[in-house]
């Protein structure tokens, strides 16, 4: 394990021409202090967790000092926001400190979010608030533990510096970690500026650093688009299966590596609602839960457009054609596992869709229902399942569905104990519900009590395990927590 000053930087993005970024240093916090530290993320960059106890730690990640070997910069990109193209965005409040390689050869960006103004701030203050950093910090870890590709976070550094959002709040910086922060919008900015040589240069960079198996292929640009389409489809299938809504699927928030990036007004489903909109600024419902698969394809199509000088229209069409089959195949695989099925059969889609309709009509908690479904007893036809039936306003409707489900399980000779073990391994007991995040935020903001952040991080790191003493984190939200308004500033 290494000290901070011994981290091994390999700043490949900084070696790209100046057209791709602007050199800029963080704006330091006055009197920074550590809010939370994530030892699991530290391990990814070979950082000794005891380094978080040094005074220098918050100086490096509070903007007051530069790590040896780092090369701070703000990345340029553009993007489609709610369907409309915005010609220049970029890192308006985040700075890429540098790229650290660990002893296994993996590379991790250290991205300081909330680091102050950059040339891309568009008049804004360049800061993040403690509320939003807590949400992103916790959700990255929750998603990783759920097996969903995502950025991670090393730590939160706080400050008493006031920041105006809807109200006056205190500032914070998040050290976000990702294999790359190249977005669909990074390609778009050069396409719309009519700089095809820059698009090619960026594509070559991404392929040589992140899709190395494609580097020697004659059709590497089409293969790159194919792989992005496939990864994006599989990512969103995972979102849908676990009940996660991103909230702002703008092309500048979409990673070319198929990672979940930029946690803002996200939300996990409580009561199942197909049209769940987690962002109160999304007035049209463009990014509703059930719209995410289609938006993913729309976004990949925007990326395909940027490659017009590198691939033919036919090649682009072929690449885009893999998206929907990849999504359907992976989502089908995931939901069959959630139902405890080991085979695929005619009627499975109807069985699932009818269940989802029942959950919505009865206001049933999505996560808790699937977790409890693992206890389903197939031994006796007509057996009652009170813990499941009691979740429904119309229990007879559940009984009718349960009879079909029991018959399906019998058809593949399902054994209850083995099935429960499989289902518990894919149906989480714990997800980051908005009210749980709000509890941690309230304690941190109002009382400077960060213990709930740590308890949540630890709980969410093992979402499929029974955790005695932490059952309350699996409860459906109280009335006040069911309709929390979450905005882009969150």
Q: What is the pLDDT of residues 286-336, one digit of tens each?
A: 999 999 999 999 999 999 999 999 999 999 999 999 999 999 999 999 999
Mean pLDDT of the chain: 96
Looking at residue 483, what DSSP letter applies?
T
Asked, for residue 22, whether it belongs to a domain, the answer is yes
Phi, psi (degrees; rounded to nearest 5) at 3:
-80, 165
> What's residue 380's pLDDT?
72
On whether the CB atoms of residues 258 and 235 are closer than 8 A, the answer is yes
Looking at residue 246, what DSSP letter applies?
-
At which residue do the structure tokens 């100086």 appear? 59
Rounded Cα–Cα distance for residues 238 and 107 (Å): 24
| Same domain (yes/no): 344, 486 | yes
Rounded Cα–Cα distance for residues 391 and 378 (Å): 19
Beta pairing class for 267-268 and 168-178: unpaired
| Same domain (yes/no): 308, 353 | no
Residue 382 has pLDDT above 60, yes or no: no
> What's residue 98's pLDDT?
98
| Same domain (yes/no): 461, 377 | yes
Phi, psi (degrees; rounded to nearest 5) at 451:
-65, -30
Asked, for residue 142, whether it belongs to a domain, the answer is yes
| Same domain (yes/no): 50, 67 | yes
Asked, for residue 254, whether it belongs to a domain, the answer is no
Rounded Cα–Cα distance for residues 44 and 57 (Å): 17
The tokens for 387 are 């813990």
Query: SS3 for 389?
Result: helix
> What's residue 199's pLDDT?
98
The tokens for 159 are 């400050």
The pLDDT of 165-173, averaged and rounded, is: 94
Q: Which of 480, 345, 483 is nearest to 408 (CA)?
A: 345
Condensed to tens digits (0 to 9), the pLDDT of residues 90-133 reads 999 999 999 999 999 999 999 999 999 999 999 899 999 999 99
Looking at residue 343, what DSSP letter applies?
S
Q: How many residues does the chain have?
A: 490
The pLDDT of 146-155, averaged and rounded, is: 98
Asked, for residue 265, whether it belongs to a domain, the answer is no
Asked, for residue 280, whether it belongs to a domain, the answer is no
| Same domain (yes/no): 30, 176 | yes
On whether the CB atoms of residues 182 and 256 are closer than 8 A, the answer is yes
> What's residue 482's pLDDT?
79
| Same domain (yes/no): 422, 405 | yes
Looking at residue 245, what DSSP letter applies?
E
> What's residue 425's pLDDT?
98
The pLDDT of 218-226, averaged and rounded, is: 98
Condensed to tens digits (0 to 9), the pLDDT of residues 473-490 reads 999 999 888 777 686 665
At which residue do the structure tokens 């995410």 appear? 292
State percent of the chain over pLDDT 90.
Answer: 95
Beta pairing class for 107-113 and 168-178: antiparallel
> What's residue 379's pLDDT?
85
User: What positions carry a catalytic annotation?
Assistant: 252
> What's residue 282's pLDDT?
94
| Same domain (yes/no): 190, 168 | no
On whether the CB atoms of residues 387 and 372 are closer than 8 A, the answer is yes
The pLDDT of 238-245, averaged and rounded, is: 98
| Same domain (yes/no): 364, 486 | yes
| Same domain (yes/no): 478, 346 | yes
Q: Which of 156, 180, 204 is the last residue of a domain?
A: 180
Residue 24 has pLDDT above 80, yes or no: yes
Beta pairing class for 267-268 and 244-245: antiparallel
| Same domain (yes/no): 364, 418 | yes
Looking at residue 150, what DSSP letter applies?
B
> What's residue 479's pLDDT?
84
The tokens for 405 are 């489900």
Q: Which residues contact 2 (CB under 8 A, 6 or more apart)?
A: 8, 46, 47, 48
Condensed to tens digits (0 to 9), the pLDDT of residues 253-275 reads 999 999 999 999 999 999 999 99
**Complete DSSP assignment for 325-383:** HHHHHHHHHHHHHHTT--S--TTHHHHHHHHHHHHHHHT-BHHHHHHHHTT---SSTT-
| Same domain (yes/no): 19, 159 | yes
Looking at residue 270, what DSSP letter applies?
S
Looking at residue 178, what DSSP letter applies?
E
* No. of helices (H) and no. of strands (E), the chain: 16, 12
Distance separating the N- and C-terminal Cα atoms of the chain: 34
The pLDDT of 47-69, averaged and rounded, is: 97
Question: Can you state the angle between helices 416-424 and 366-373, rounded to 10 degrees?
Answer: 150
Q: Which of 180, 214, 232 is the last residue of a domain?
A: 180
Range of the structural domain that residue 199 is part of: 185-244+287-334
The count of domains in the chain is 3
Asked, for residue 261, whether it belongs to a domain, the answer is no
Condensed to tens digits (0 to 9), the pLDDT of residues 335-358 reads 999 999 999 999 999 999 999 999
Query: How far from chain centre, in Å, is Cα 234?
Result: 13
Condensed to tens digits (0 to 9), the pLDDT of residues 402-450 reads 999 999 999 999 999 999 999 999 999 999 999 999 999 999 999 999 9
Asked, for residue 278, whether it belongs to a domain, the answer is no
| Same domain (yes/no): 26, 175 | yes
Q: Which of 180, 199, 224 is the last residue of a domain?
A: 180
The tokens for 313 are 């229209």
Torsion of CA 251, 256, 260, 265, to 10 degrees: -10
Asked, for residue 292, whether it belongs to a domain, the answer is yes
The pLDDT of 19-29, averaged and rounded, is: 97
């Amino acid at each position: 394990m290494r000290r901070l000053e011994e981290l091994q930087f390999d700043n490949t993005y900084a070696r790209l021409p100046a057209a791709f970024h602007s050199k800029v240093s963080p704006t330091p916090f006055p009197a920074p202090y550590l809010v939370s530290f994530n030892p699991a993320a530290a391990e990814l960059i070979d950082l000794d967790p005891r380094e978080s106890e040094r005074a220098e730690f918050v100086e490096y990640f509070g903007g007051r000092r530069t790590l040896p070997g780092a090369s701070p910069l703000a990345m340029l990109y553009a993007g489609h926001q709610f369907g409309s193209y915005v010609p220049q965005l970029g890192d308006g409040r985040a700075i890429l400190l540098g790229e650290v390689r660990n002893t296994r050869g993996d590379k991790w960006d250290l991205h300081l979010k909330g680091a102050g103004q950059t040339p891309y701030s568009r008049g804004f203050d360049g800061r993040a608030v403690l509320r939003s950093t807590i949400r992103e910090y916790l959700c990255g870890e929750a998603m990783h533990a759920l097996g969903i590709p995502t950025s991670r976070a090393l730590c939160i550094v706080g400050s008493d510096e006031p920041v105006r959002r809807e109200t006056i709040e205190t500032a914070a910086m998040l050290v976000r970690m990702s294999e790359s922060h190249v977005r669909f919008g990074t390609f778009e900015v050069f396409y719309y500026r009519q700089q095809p040589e820059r698009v090619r240069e960026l594509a070559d960079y991404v392929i040589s650093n992140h899709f190395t198996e494609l580097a020697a292929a004659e059709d590497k640009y089409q293969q790159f688009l194919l792989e992005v389409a496939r990864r994006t489809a599989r990512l969103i299938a995972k979102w849908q299966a676990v009940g996660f809504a991103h909230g702002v699927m703008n092309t500048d928030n979409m990673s070319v590596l198929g990672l979940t990036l930029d946690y803002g007004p996200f939300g996990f489903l409580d009561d199942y609602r197909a049209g769940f909109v987690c962002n109160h600024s999304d007035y049209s419902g463009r990014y509703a839960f059930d719209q995410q698969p289609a938006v993913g394809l729309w976004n990949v199509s925007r990326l395909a457009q940027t490659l017009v000088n590198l691939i033919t229209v036919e090649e682009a069409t072929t690449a885009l054609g893999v998206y929907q089959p990849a999504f359907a195949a992976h989502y089908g695989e995931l939901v069959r596992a959630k139902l405890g099925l080991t085979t695929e059969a005619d009627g499975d889609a109807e069985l699932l869709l009818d269940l989802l309709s029942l959950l919505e009509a009865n206001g049933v908690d999505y996560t808790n229902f699937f977790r409890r479904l693992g206890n389903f007893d197939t031994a006796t036809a007509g057996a009652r399942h009170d813990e499941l039936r009691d979740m429904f306003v119309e229990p007879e409707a559940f009984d009718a569905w349960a009879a079909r489900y029991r018959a399906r399980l019998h058809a593949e000779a399902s054994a209850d104990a083995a099935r429960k073990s499989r289902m518990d391994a894919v149906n989480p007991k714990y997800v980051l519900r908005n009210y749980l995040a709000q509890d941690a935020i309230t304690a941190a903001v109002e009382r400077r009590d960060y213990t709930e952040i740590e308890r949540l991080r630890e709980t969410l790191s093992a979402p499929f395990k029974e955790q005695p003493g932490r059952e309350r984190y699996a409860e459906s939200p109280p009335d006040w927590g069911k309709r929390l308004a979450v905005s882009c500033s969150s």
